[in-house]
Amino acid sequence: MKIKKYANRRLYDTRQSRYITLAELSDMIREGKQVEVYDSNTQEDVTAFILTQVILEEAKNKKALLPSPLLHLIIRYGDNLLVEFFDKYLLQTIYTYVSQKAAFDEQFMRMLSMGTDWSEMTRRTMSGMPSFKPFMDLFAGGAFDTHPAAGKKTGPDGDSDTRMGVTNIGKTQDDGNRR
């Protein structure tokens, strides 16, 4: 999408044949449009300059995109050191982050919409891990008990004796190490 910048700092959208504001330009970019901004007199590409203005306007409205220490580095090293880094690595890192975040969000939403009974799934999963059962029972109050024992010992108040679980952890681990 081609935008012309006039000397009076106005931006002209050649597609819609109308003047636009920096906020409208920002909205276009958020919608996924790729913009190119050219000086109306010299035809020089001023896209980076205008996009920097967009970021500055948003920072004025307390939507700061970049932390101050990073801005200091950009100013300090400018073209000398950071151009190659921004061109090669930062841009690709951001693209990768955005695509991975979208994939994760989609997968997470699919998982939430499954309507699965997670307590049943947890019980089935934990039944395949007997060496972790006594340890997990300490935190879950027996929720992971896949094979309830008859005549289970109880404490003085009727609750299960957690000290028995602590003792059994060592035995379970020792038994597993002897195999």
Predicted pLDDT at 90: 80
Q: Are 141 and 107 in a shared domain?
A: no
> For residue range 115-147, what is the model confidence (pLDDT) as tens digits?
656 666 667 776 666 565 566 566 665 554 555
Q: Are 130 and 171 in a shared domain?
A: yes
Q: Are 93 and 124 in a shared domain?
A: no
Q: Which residues contact 152 (CB under 8 A, 6 or more apart)?
A: 160
pTM, 2 dp: 0.47
Q: Are 147 and 104 in a shared domain?
A: no
Enclosing domain of residue 31: 1-65
Q: Are 138 and 167 in a shared domain?
A: yes
Q: Are 109 and 144 in a shared domain?
A: no
Position 147 in a domain: yes
Position 110 in a domain: yes
> For the CA atoms of the chain, what is the radius of gyration?
30
